[in-house]
Amino acid sequence: MILVAKPKLVDAITCQEALMSLIPCRPFLTGGASTPIPQCCLAVANINAAATTPTTRRDLCRCFKKAGPGAGVVPDKAKQLPRLCGVRVIVPIDLTVNCGL
C-alpha cells in the first residue's frame, strides 16, 4: 500500500513575528513620532510580501485588530502607515476594517 499525502503549507509569517517586526513602527503608531522611520517601512513591506495566502492575510488582519488597542495604537496613524511608507498593502493595518478579506 502506498500512502500519498500533501504536506501542510506553513504560513509565511505568524502574528507574533509580524508584531515583533513592527516594533520600529511603535513611536509612529502610538503618536510619539510624526513620520515612520525607514526600518518601520521596511517591516511593513516585508509583512506585506510574506502575506502570501488568504488565510495568512486574514489571520494578520485579526492579529493587528486585536493587538492594536492594547499597544496604544492610534487608529488614524495605523491607517496612514502604508501610504507614508509607500506600500500598497494586502493586509490592512486598520483597527476598524472587516477582516473577512
| Dihedral sign of CA atoms 57, 61, 62, 68 in order | positive
Domain 15-85 of CATH type 3.40.50.2300: no
| Per-domain residue ranges of the chain | 15-85
The number of CA neighbours under 13 Å toward the Cβ of 33 is: 15
pLDDT at 17 > cutoff 50: yes
Decide: 94 and 78 in contact? Cβ < 8 Å.
yes
Q: What is the pLDDT of residues 43-77, one digit of tens each?
A: 999 999 999 999 999 999 999 999 988 999 999 99
> What are the helix (H) ranges across 10-98?
15-21, 26-29, 38-50, 54-70, 75-85
Position 53, amino acid: T
Q: What is the pLDDT of residue 15?
A: 94
State the residue for C-alpha cell 495605523.
Answer: 78
pTM of the entire structure? 0.81
